[in-house]
């Protein structure tokens, strides 16, 4: 893994949260994007070299809607940038990690993504991200 790519935060209302985080960081989000396949609307902020992704459910069946229903708003996942996502999935499976989607899928911010089940990572949802070239 190369670095922390971003921290994902589940929110109920992305517009209100964008206002809150804009005030916190002193600048507006640099991107708003909907990922229809995941049932989410996202926005991204830069904070120094780091990124924060806000995620709002666009339907009640999405993972974000279920997360908020169960745990409320808050940190949803930590994403790590990887050079070769398929190779990293294979490596982590061999180490005993449970991969939620062993075939990478298109995510927000021009990334291929895969997730590790929190039960195999001390309760933290881990996202692997590879830039789509």
Helix count and strand count (H, E) for the chain: 3, 8
Span between the terminal Cα atoms of the chain, in Å: 18
Return the sign of the alpha-carbon dihedral for residues 35, 40, 43, 49.
negative
Q: Which two three-digit tokens encode residue 22? A: 């804009």
Is the pLDDT at 1 greater than 90, yes or no? no
As a whole number of angstroms, the distance between CA 42 and CA 104 comes to 19
As a whole number of angstroms, the distance between CA 104 and CA 110 comes to 13
Is the pLDDT at 133 greater than 90, yes or no? no
Q: Is 42 exposed, middle or buried (0-12, 13-18, 19+ CB in 10 A)?
A: buried
Residue 123 pLDDT: 94
Residue 13 pLDDT: 98
- The string of pLDDT tens digits covering residues 41-93 is 999 999 989 999 999 999 999 999 999 999 999 999 999 999 999 999 999 99
């Amino acid at each position: 893994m190369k670095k922390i790519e971003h921290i994902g935060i589940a929110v109920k209302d992305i517009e209100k949260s964008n206002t809150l985080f804009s005030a916190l960081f002193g600048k507006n989000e640099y991107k708003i994007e909907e990922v229809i396949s995941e049932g989410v609307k996202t926005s991204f902020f830069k904070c120094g070299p780091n990124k924060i992704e806000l995620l709002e459910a666009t339907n009640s069946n999405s993972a974000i809607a279920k997360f908020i229903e169960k745990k409320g708003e808050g940190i949803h996942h930590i994403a790590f940038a990887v050079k070769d996502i398929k190779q990293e999935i294979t490596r982590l499976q061999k180490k005993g990690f449970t991969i939620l989607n062993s075939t990478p899928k298109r995510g927000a911010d021009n990334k291929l993504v895969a997730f590790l089940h929190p039960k195999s990572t001390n309760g933290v949802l881990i996202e692997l991200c590879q830039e789509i070239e």
